[in-house]
Structures are given as structure tokens and as C-alpha cells.
Homo-oligomer: A and B are copies of this chain.
Amino acid sequence: MTDQHGANTVAFSQPVVPARRYFTIGQLAREFGLTLRTLRFYEDRGLISPAREGSTRIYTHRDRARLSMIVKAKMLGFTLSEIKETLAEGSPAGEPNGLGLSPSQIADQIAHLEKQQSEIATALAELNALRMKLLKARVV
């Protein structure tokens, strides 16, 4: 993960370029653990709109920040259309508040996930009971 070249040899050699002005699709895909197809799909769905250099996509730091919020919202279980709406309304100037989620959206999502959670818990209980039964049958 560290620079393959000597770290201190060329300090201050390129102060013109802060860190990295733009990102390619491959760079962002690697960073966020997504596929190129996923990045292109999000663009098709209107979630990100990177600039173009010819036909090649060019992502800015703003695009990267947007993508970061998309990934976080996905981990919270929101759908892409919900995320799109949330990004459209909230964070007009980039709120420091994680995402631009409203209290009702959060409450709805909690209820939704809790329902899933209980369904999974029921299934797990039955599967464990079934496993026990098979183990006993095997022994006897």
C-alpha cells in the first residue's frame, strides 16, 4: 500500500498537482470495491454524471464524494432510486451530516430492516432445529 519508489527523494517535486485532480473509472472502482459495470450502471440511472474526455469518463472529487455517499446508503439498505432522490434533495452544498436522510426515511428503513431481520431469525431457528433433527437421526 506504500509507494513503491523512495518516499523522500522527490518531495515537493510536483506542488502543482495537489494529490490527484481527477479519477478514472478504474481507480474509483478499485477504491470502493465496485466493478466498472456498476459505476456505468449508476451513471445510467442518473446517480453520477462524470465528465468525458472523448469517450472516457473523468471523475472529479465531487463525483468521488457522491459515489462515497451512494456506497454508504447502499450499505444501509436503500435502493438506488431512493438514493437518487435523497441526493437530489439534500446535501445541496454537501452537508457534513453523513447523508441527507430525513428522520422519516430513517425510521422507515429501520422498520424495513427489522422486518427482514425477524424473517431471517425465524428461518435460522427452523434451520437449526432441522439440523439438530438430522444430527440425532444420524447418531441413532
Interfacial residues, chain A to chain B (CB-CB below 8 A): 75-77, 97-98, 101, 103, 106-107, 109-110, 113-114, 116-117, 119-124, 126-128, 130-131, 133-135, 138
State in angstroms the CA–CA spacing of A75 and B130 once bound together. Answer: 14
State in angstroms the CA–CA spacing of A97 and B123 once bound together. Answer: 17
B-chain residues with CB within 8 Å of residue A126 when the two chains form the complex: 75-76
CB nearest neighbor in B for A75: B123
Q: Are B110 and A131 in contact (CB under 8 A)?
A: yes
B-chain residues with CB within 8 Å of residue A133 when the two chains form the complex: 97
B-chain residues with CB within 8 Å of residue A106 when the two chains form the complex: 127, 130-131, 134
Q: Are B101 and A130 in contact (CB under 8 A)?
A: yes
